[in-house]
Amino acid sequence: MDRREDPIEQESLAALLSRVVGDAEQVARAEIELQKAKIVAKIDDARNAILLLVAAIAIGSVALTAFVVGALLVLAQIIGPLGATGAVVGALVVLSALLGWFSMRQFKRLFGATEEQA
């Protein structure tokens, strides 16, 4: 009986275990690299979203400025320049105060602060 031994059978248990550990390390490294690539892709997406948001805020700011100037020009003809300035500034201060108040309510709700704690 001429029996040839399989090369795998010739390897010792220590050698097989060493190969398994090496393969597991390669799989772990590949998984880490995959996760790094996914994180970098998410960061790129977030960066693009932030850039778009900044552009939207800038354009919105220009539009608001144009609206304020237009309101001043129209109101100046009706109630005079000083009255128009007072009316527009007053309206913007009230709007700003309301938005700030709504924001504080949201933060209190978000972080669990009650009216008694505030």
4: left (phi over 0), alpha (psi -120 to 50) or beta: beta
Over 70: is that where the pLDDT of 7 sits?
no
Domain boundaries, the chain: 11-111
Cα–Cα nearest to 85, from 97, 71, 67: 71
Burial 15-27 (b: 16+ CB within 10 A, else e): eeeeeeeeeeeee
Q: What's the Cα-to-Cα distance from 112 to each of 70, 100, 106, 108, rounded to whole Å? A: 42, 18, 10, 6
pLDDT one-digit tens code per residue, 71-117: 999 999 999 999 999 999 999 999 999 999 999 999 998 898 665 55
> Using one digit for the tens of pLDDT, what is the confidence trace for 12-54?
888 888 889 999 999 999 999 999 999 998 898 889 999 999 9
SS3 22: helix
Q: Which has more pLDDT, 33 or 6?
A: 33
* Pairwise CA distance, residues 23 & 17, whole Å: 10
State what percent of residues in the chain have pLDDT above 90: 67
Task: Specify the pLDDT at position 1.
Answer: 45
> What pLDDT is attached to residue 12?
83
Q: How many CA atoms lie within 13 A of 98 on its CB side?
A: 6
